[in-house]
Structure 1
Amino acid sequence: MPCKVETTPLLGQNFSPPTEKLGTRHVQILLMFLGIAIAYAIRICMSVTIIAMTDPKAPITRFNWDSKTNSLILSSFFWGYIVTQVPSGYIANTRGAHKLLSCGMFLCSLVNSLIPAVAMCYGWPAVICCRAATGLTQACLYPCAQTLLSRWVPPAERARLGSLVMNAGTFGMVLTLPVSGVLCASRLGWPSVFYLISACGVAWSILFFYLGSDMPSEHPTICPNEMRYIDGSLGRLDKASRSEKPRVPWKAILTSFPMWAIVIVHSGSNWGFYVLFTQMPTYMKYVLSFDVQHSGLVSALPYLAMWLIGFPISWLSDFALRKGVSVECVRKLSNTIGLWLPAAGMLVLVFIETTDKTVLVTILVIAVGFNSATTSGYQINHIDLSTAFAGTMISITNSIANVFGIIAPLVCGVIIKDPTIVSQWHTVFYISAAVYFFTNLVFIIFGKAETQSWSEPDILHGLSRDRPGRASRVPTVLDSSSVVVVDHGLK
């Protein structure tokens, strides 16, 4: 898209948005959106295919796996996923997120394509190894995404563009669940699900490798006006940031109360999310009596609602910020909507006395749908605390929180001995609702949304330092030879 080059000098200039509606930053956001959507397709496809793989009426190879084996397979993705979270965050912050994400998704897609062959030749232990390997190679996903968001998205657009990327996984689930169900019920059978999704992942990796970039100043075709707007809004000069990388203040991060508030609420959110994420197709099949094809279609409805609801909530979050509402208030209110409303929905599922499928599915849709509000809550809160170390921070919170991605399916496997018994599902809903409630309460009490003192390199990115690892403080408005950092009203 042609771009007018602004001749006004950068020094002393206000950083207003460029006139072009579609900029390079929007292309980067779209690419990240597609990448996360495909990554979630790789994660969730096993939740549908495993039903077809163990179905006695399956048209092709059928496996005699019990519920505990199925739970092990569903949780094995997270065994690898938590191992490389922190290293991925460190590499994304210090070495570059763009190539790491491209290579990680490429390898993840290749491993995922091997699952049908290894399942038929070596059985469930080999499937577990492949799923753990996909988690191992996909661990870079959110550390890289947060790092790239912190470098590409101006603060005034953070909720909208950040929420679009963080909700991409939901979009991936919306497409994957029904498509997987249709493919499993077709002549192609369940192996086609793995092949199709893996092909999309390989294609995306190659595309992102050539079109993506770590930061605006490194992109070959970005409009100069847009680069000024992004870097000026973030108070950054990228030449300096490339010449000297800020040291990660590990001790300060790990002893920060607001950081641990994110860890706790992230863990609680993951518990409820992964319970539904892995068990929804099974619940649809055995409690609501949908076959595997329709189970995939109906299972997608809550996530379709989740994806759609995310847009107005993120817009309202940015609108509230423009009207002067504090960032902390917006983050906590969004998070409360995202966790307490779903908790209430789960309790309704327990206490309502009806077997009407439409009513039960509607409650599930509402309960899961409003969970999207967390993308304008704790999920974007890492960048509020520190744009410089957001990738490292989310690698820590994601590593700890995704332990619950391992535990949740295993606990479900222990509680739900017979998936046709509704009372066993009620126990799972009780536990998930309680976890949602108390972890969000911790976030309300201890969560913060202002830049932390240990994030000083985030302001200068190496422009001025008193000693290694420490940035010297500077006023918001510098002298006539410096860049003016504009305050967007974000506190």
Structure 2
Amino acid sequence: MGVSDVQDAAPKPDRMIGMRHVVVFLLFLATTVSYATRVSMSVAIVAMTTPNNYSYPVFEWDRKIQDTLLSSFFWGYIVLQIPAGMLAGRFGGKLLIFVSMLITGIVNLFVPLAADMGDWVAVCGCRIVMGLAQGLLYPSLHGLLGQWSPASERSRMGTFVYAGAQLGTIIEMMMAGVLSAGPWGWPSVYYVAGITCLGWAVLWIIFGASTPGTSRWISKEERKYIEMNAGSLDITEQKKMPTPWKSIWTSLPFWAIILAHCGQSLGFWTLLTEIPSYMSKVLGVNIKNNGLLSALPYVAMYILSFIFSWTADLLVNRNILSLLTVRKVFNTIAFWGPAAALLALSYLPAGHLTMAVVILTITVGLNGAHYVGFLISHIDLSPNFASTLMGITNGCGNIFSIMAPLSVSLVVKDETSASEWRKVFFISIAFYFLSNLFFILFMSGKIQDWNEPQVNNSLEEGVKKEEKKETEKKSEGEHRF
């Protein structure tokens, strides 16, 4: 059956807003809120260690303790990526994402009490638990997108959901500072985050569903349209499917996604965590003291990500470019664009504030194209195992997220030395360039053979054998007659 046949058999529903849009909007809110809770500590920790006028506790945490608290989230975050992918693929993402946000909300509510009674060790424990809980999030998101997004809408739906990470970062950078400086003090940062997570969990348990087939709110027309165009099986069928581990790990297109995810994580987190220090120590531009300048690159990334996604879907749906070509083009924009901008930034003379901010904004903004590059490609390869694939690549990628600041501490001995910082940038540039080159050479836009259930194949073989036996019996009977 061709694409046109599928569309004729399952036309797009007339209603502009369907249940798939409601689910995708809730997933967008989940990404926004979850990222806001990650960033909250980065802002609130300043208030927690600075005297205030409202008698809230002040903690004497040195730089080492603060860095430990900020990184402890990722200690837990990496652990459950692959198991979460397998569970989401087998049982659906609804329950997992609910548990993720529920635990995140509860932990945030307890952070002020933990800090007051157990100091930094208790807070560190809370961050690890929150990391464990959010380790369930991205694999579940990918599995749900695989079930709910028709191929023709996948780029913009995926971008809409994952761009919530940038929006959550922007909102929290602005809100947390205001809350910390107000009469409710730094504890209010965690209380607002916790209540927001719990509020989302209530909405999700009412309106969320792992698949169109398990949603009680969806129309028959929309369900048929999604199921005929998403390329994935219902969860009841997926439960019977053994995970094709050998095929996954020997798939070059999948390795292209792994390397792209690792290159993206190293490059992006180097930008996020180290560029402000470089601009301050080497260029003499203290961007941290200007909230607008700090948020500007991420505002650019948020806006451009939607422009990229709509353009990508337009190119595919109008048959201007193939899906595979679109993935490669936008991944190249997301990787080689920032690589070139980083190279320019590393040779920028000191004191050029405007040019430094322009280059940084371009670097981060172009990186928004990765949402319609490698990040959604798991679903292109295997809608049925998208959550498992995402668990693997996100786990590997976050190892490189942790490596980003470590590479700086190993390479840069003198923070005012431009030549030493260039070595750090060259590492990111190399990862950006080589990982995207591998992606261009070996990525595929076709659903892989191992996406289909082996159980169904064996059933088909059994049916064929039975049909053959029936034919043989009939021919024997006719021969006797």
Alpha-carbon distance change, 431 to 54 in structure 1, aligned in 2, over 3 angstroms: farther
Q: 1 CA distance for matches of 2:45 and 2:419?
A: 23
Pairing 1:198-347 to 2, within 5 Å after superposition: 198-234=194-230, 238=234, 241=237, 245-279=240-274, 288-289=285-286, 294-295=290-291, 297-324=292-319, 325-347=321-343
Match of 2:377 among 372, 377, 381: 381
SS in 2 for 1:65: coil
2:22 to 9, 18, 27: 27
Residue type at the aligned position of 1:15: A
The yes-or-no answer on 1:454 pairing with 2:450 is: yes
Q: CA deviation at 1:12?
A: 10
Letter in 2 for 1:186: G
Structure 2 match to 1:465: 457
Which deviations, in whole Å up to 9, do the C-alpha atoms of 1:123-181 show, x marking residues without a partner?
A: 33332222111110101111111111111111111111111112111111121112123
346-355 vs 19-28, which moves further? 346-355
- Offset, 1:251: 1.5
SS of the equivalent of 2:228 reads: helix
1:92 aligns with 2:88: yes
* Residue of structure 1 equivalent to 2:439: 443
- Relative to structure 1, the CA distance from residue 299 to residue 284 in structure 2 (aligned partners, 3 Å threshold; closer, same or farther) is farther
Matches within 5 A, 1:343-362: 343-362=339-358
Helix, strand or coil at the partner of 2:383: coil
Indicate if the aligned counterparts of 2:385 and 2:451 stay in contact, CA closer than 8 A.
Answer: yes
How has the CA–CA distance of structure 1 residues 175 and 415 changed in structure 2, closer, same or farther, with 3 Å as cutoff? farther
Q: Residue 404 in 1 paired to residue 400 in 2? A: yes
Task: Identify if the C-alpha distance between structure 1 residues 383 and 342 changes in structure 2 by more than 3 Å, giving closer, same or farther.
Answer: same
In the alignment, the residues of structure 2 paired with residue 58 and residue 408 of structure 1 have an alpha-carbon distance, to the nearest angstrom, of 37
Aligned-partner Cα distance in 1 for 2:49–2:280: 13
Q: 1:132 aligns with which of 128, 133, 156?
A: 128
| Cα distance in 1 between the residues matched to 2:234 and 2:107 | 36
The reply on whether 1:119 has 2:112 as its aligned counterpart is no
Which amino acid is the alignment partner of residue 430 of structure 2? A
Query: Which of 165-174 and 353-362 deviates more?
Result: 353-362
Residue identity over aligned pairs, in percent, reads 39
Pair 1:197-2:193 in alignment: yes
Cα-to-partner distance string for 1:385-410 (whole Å, 9 max, x where unaligned): 10000001100111111112222233
The range that moved more, 67-76 or 102-111, is 67-76
Are the counterparts in 2 of residues 75 and 405 from structure 1 also a CA contact under 8 Å?
A: no
Within 2, Cα distance between the matches of 1:471 and 1:21?
43
Measure how far apart 1:199 and its partner are.
1.4
Distance in 1 of aligned mates of 2:462 and 2:188: 53
**Residues 92, 100 of structure 1: 8 Å contact kept:** yes
Aligned pair in 2 of structure 1 residues 283, 192: CA closer, same or farther (>3 Å)?
farther
RMSD of equivalent CA atoms: 2.9
- State the Cα deviation string for residues 27-47 of structure 1 (Å, max 9, x = none): 000000000111111112222
The answer as to whether partners of 2:334 and 2:369 remain within 8 angstroms in 1 is yes
Aligned equivalent of 1:479? none
Query: Partner of 2:9: helix, strand, or coil?
Result: coil
The equivalent of 1:483 in structure 2 is none
Q: Quick one: distance in 2 between partners of 1:50 and 1:189?
A: 12
Provide the rounded CA distance (Å) in 2 between the counterparts of 1:280 and 1:471. Answer: 61
* Pair 1:263–1:239, CA change in 2 (3 A): closer
Instruction: Write the distance in 2 (CA, Å) between the matches of 1:420 and 1:58.
Output: 36
TM superposition shift of 1:88: 0.7
Question: Conserved in 1, the CA contact under 8 Å of 2:148 and 2:230?
Answer: no
Distance in 1, matches of 2:188 and 2:122, equals 19
Separation in 1, partners of 2:329, 2:226: 27
Gaps of 5+ in 2: 465-481
Give the SS at the match of 1:451.
coil
How far apart in 2 are the matches of 1:230 and 1:19?
13
Q: SS of 1:123's equivalent? A: helix
CA distance in 1 between counterparts of 2:185 and 2:268 reads 28
Change (3 A) 1:267 1:137: same
Q: Give the TM-score, by structure 2 length.
A: 0.86
1:12–1:193: structure 2 CA closer, same or farther, 3 Å change rule? closer
Cα distance in 2 for partners of 1:161, 1:431 equals 32
- 1:385 touches 1:451 (CA, 8 Å); kept in 2? yes
Q: Using the alignment, how far apart are the partners of 2:225 and 2:151 within structure 1? A: 11
Query: Are the aligned partners of 2:232 and 2:383 in contact in 1 as well (CA < 8 Å)?
Result: no
What whole-Å deviation, never above 9, does each CA across 1:95-133 have from its counterpart, x for those lacking one? 121011011111012113323332343333332222111
Amino acid at match of 2:67: S
Q: Per the alignment, do residues 238 and 397 of structure 1 end up closer, same or farther by CA in structure 2, a change over 3 Å counting?
A: closer
The equivalent of 2:359 in structure 1 is 363
The answer to whether 1:432 aligns with 2:432 is: no
Shift of 1:281: 6.4
TM superposition score normalised by structure 1:
0.85
Structure 1: segments with no counterpart, 5+ residues:
1-9, 474-491
Q: Is the 8 A contact 1:67 1:413 kept in 2?
A: no
Aligned residues of 1:456 and 1:472 also touching (Cα < 8 A): no
Q: From the superposition, tell whether residues 402 and 192 of structure 1 become closer, same or farther in structure 2 (CA, over 3 Å).
A: same
Instruction: Mark the CA change 1:394 to 1:163 in structure 2 (over 3 Å): closer, same or farther.
Output: same
- 8 A contact 1:68–1:414 mirrored in 2: no
Counterparts of 1:11 and 1:354 in 2: how far apart (Å)?
Answer: 59
- In 2, Cα distance between the equivalents of 1:394 and 1:27? 23
Alignment match of 1:101 (pick from 92, 97, 103): 97
Contact 2:6 2:228 in 1 (8 A): no
Please tell me whether residue 52 in structure 1 is matched to residue 47 in structure 2.
yes
- Equivalence map 1:172-183=2 (5 Å): 172-183=168-179
Alpha-carbon distance between aligned partners in 1 of 2:149 and 2:439, rounded to the nearest angstrom:
25
Closer, same or farther: CA 413–197 of 1 in aligned 2, 3 Å: farther
* Contact 1:106/1:201 (8 A) holds in 2: yes
Alpha-carbon distance between aligned partners in 1 of 2:259 and 2:306, rounded to the nearest angstrom: 25
- Aligned CA distance change for structure 1 residues 336 and 413 (closer, same or farther; 3 Å): same
Change (3 A) 1:55 1:221: same
Asked if 1 retains the 8 angstrom alpha-carbon contact of 2:155 and 2:376, the reply is yes
CA 283–200 in structure 1, closer or farther in 2 if over 3 Å, else same: farther
Letter in 2 for 1:289: N
Task: Give the one of 78, 82, 86 matched to 1:82.
Answer: 78
Match of 2:476 in 1: none
